[in-house]
Amino acid sequence: ETEFAHLFGVEDTSYSRTAMQVDISGLAGKTILGASLDFRILDGSPGTQTVTATTFAANGSLGHVWTPTAIQSQNYSVSNGINSLDVTGLLQQRVSAGANWLGLHLQGSSLYEWTYTYAGDGYSDDRAEVRLNVNYEDAAAVPEPTSIAMWGLGALGMMISVRKRRQSKLTA
C-alpha cells in the first residue's frame, strides 16, 4: 500500500524530500532484468531538474530521514507529469547484498516539485501513483549432487551394457 504523510516531494535541496522503503525479500535468488520507479509530479514549479535517488539501509520501519547514510546514488532528470526512473542498478545492488528492504531517498536540486497526497485536504493518498516495477526471472536451477551422481551412474550403466553387447557379438 502506498501512503505519504502530506506530499510526495522532490524539491530544492532545502525543502521537502521523499524517503520510502520497499520489501524486496521476495527477490532473493532472482535475476533482476530491469526495475523502474514510476511516479507523477502534479504540483509545483514547471521545468526539469536533477533528482538524486540514494539507497540506504532499511528495516521496514520508516522514520524521518532527511539525509540518509548513502549506500549508492544515481541522478535522474525529473519534471512535472509522469516520470520513470531506471533504478535497476540500485535495486540489484541491494538484492545482491542480501537486503530484505530497499530504502530509497529522493532529493531535488533546483525546483519545487511535489504531489499533494494529504487526504485531509481532499487528495488521494495514491495521487502520485508511486510504483516500483521489477522485471525478474528465477535463477537457473542447479542440479543437486545426488541428481548428478544418479545421471552419471545411469550413463555408466548404459555404456557397460553397450560394451557387453558388442563383446557378445564379437565372440559369437
Distances (CA, A) of 98 to 58, 86, 144: 12, 21, 23
Q: CA-CA distance, 115 to 130, in Å (whole number)?
A: 11
pLDDT in tens, 35-71: 999 999 999 999 999 999 999 999 988 777 677 888 9
Specify the residue for cell string 511516479. 39
- Name the more confident of 16 and 20: 20
Q: pLDDT band at 79, cuts 50/70/90?
A: very high
Please check the confidence at residue 163 and state whether its pLDDT lies above 60: yes
What's the CA gap between 118 and 94, in Å, rounded? 31
pLDDT single digits (tens) 107-159: 999 998 988 888 778 888 889 999 999 999 987 656 667 767 766 666 666 67
pLDDT for 31 beyond 80: yes
pLDDT score of 11 more than 80: yes
Single-letter amino acid code for the residue at 19: A
What pLDDT, on the 0 to 100 scale, is given for residue 156? Answer: 64
Residue 2 confidence (pLDDT) above 60: no
Predicted pLDDT of residue 137 = 93
Query: Strand, helix or coil at 26?
Result: helix
Is the pLDDT reported for residue 106 higher than 70?
Answer: yes
Q: What angle do CA 137, 139, 141 make, to 5 degrees?
A: 130
What one-character DSSP code corresponds to residue 140? Answer: P
Report how far Cα 68 is from the mean position of its chain's Cα atoms.
18
Residues in contact with 160: Cβ distance below 8 Å, sequence separation at least 6, in sequence order: none
By the 8 A CB rule, do 85 and 76 touch?
yes
CA–CA gap between residue 42 and residue 153 (Å, rounded): 66
CA Rg, the chain, in Å?
A: 26
CA 150-137-76 angle, to 5 degrees, is: 150
